[in-house]
Structure 1
Amino acid sequence: MVRAEDAYFDKLTHRELWKRYCGFLDLSIEEFMAIQKELLLDQIERVWSSTLGRKIMGDSKPGSVDEFRHTVPLTTFEDYTPYLSEQREDVLACKPALWCHSSGRQGQFKWVPHSADFLERANKACLSIVTLASARQRGEINYGPGFRFLLVLPPPPYMSGSMIDSLAKRVSFKALPPRDTAGNMPFQRR
């Protein structure tokens, strides 16, 4: 089965693939910061009207990055725990495409909702990592659909395992050990 990202390896040149996955390396600081500003303002627009957004940002929606910095307090996960530990979707800006949890090293799992937009960006970031890890020099693409991937990650709903499952829906790769058997193996045996 051909997945969405697989098609780019047929349509694009190596140079275009490099730009798709690693073009961010060529951004100036100003370009990078402009993108970050746009992303933050987009998130404010999306999240502010939700119950959780209003709890964190208050009754007045920040209209700029500076206003956000001055009016929105720093938070910790504990600020979100009453909502996220119960996976309450009614307080979020949109229905999550996926719920993942942390490793639970501090005694309990921390549940985190992920939107479809987040998963799309995370999948592209994973392919950026694969591109950089497999290249010996700038612009080099040394993998394609069906590449092999050493799977030393925990299974879903752990965050890293969930991200690999999400990536597998976008690009074909061969996990070693295979994802379907790895999920049933004790983590140490992988």
Structure 2
Amino acid sequence: MGKHIKFFLEQSWLLLVASVFFGICLAGLNAWWEPKIIANEIKKFNDLAGGLLTEAEKFEPAEVLTIDIGKGKTVDTQVKKAVSGGDVVGWAFIAEGAGFQDKIKLVVAVDKQFNKLRGFGVLSSNETPGFGDKIKTGDFYRNQFIGAPCEEFTLSKVGDDKKIDSEIVAVTGATVTSESVVKILNNFISQVKAQMKEKGYI
């Protein structure tokens, strides 16, 4: 038994040392990159939110809320207040959920009273090029949400996409992605609004 262990150690010491070395290197790289990744996401959030709430001078953290995303899972989202001249002019937060191919993360902006949606921007998405990615590259779909009421949205394959209401016309060839965005918005807007009202923000 002892000879077998000795033989194993003699044959595998280099592999063991290499594993430890590369493990330490990966941990170090992760620690080095993580602040940069967080900083880049914050910048992208501010850029997207600023494009939706154009009157905002800055975005300040307001509250971290826990959102039920189904199947016994929850996710925390930080709601930020859009500030101009010291006054709150709106709210912005990240909403996420499953898309057709991968997770979709949205930056959602609403007005001060949380009555109207100011729109959404796509923080990250890997939907089908040419179809599903129209949620971030085209105006047809996203423009339907600008000024829409913060209530339950429904999805339709046909309809008037110029009419701003709770009925959203899907992107042709990307019904699943269109439906995913509607589900994400419905889930997060309802829960964030309820919790913000409960905490006295609105």
Instruction: Tell me whether the two structures share a fold, i.e. TM-score over 0.5.
Output: no
TM-score, normalised relative to structure 2: 0.21
TM superposition score normalised by structure 1: 0.22
**Bigger Rg, structure 1 or 2:** 2
Higher helix share: 1
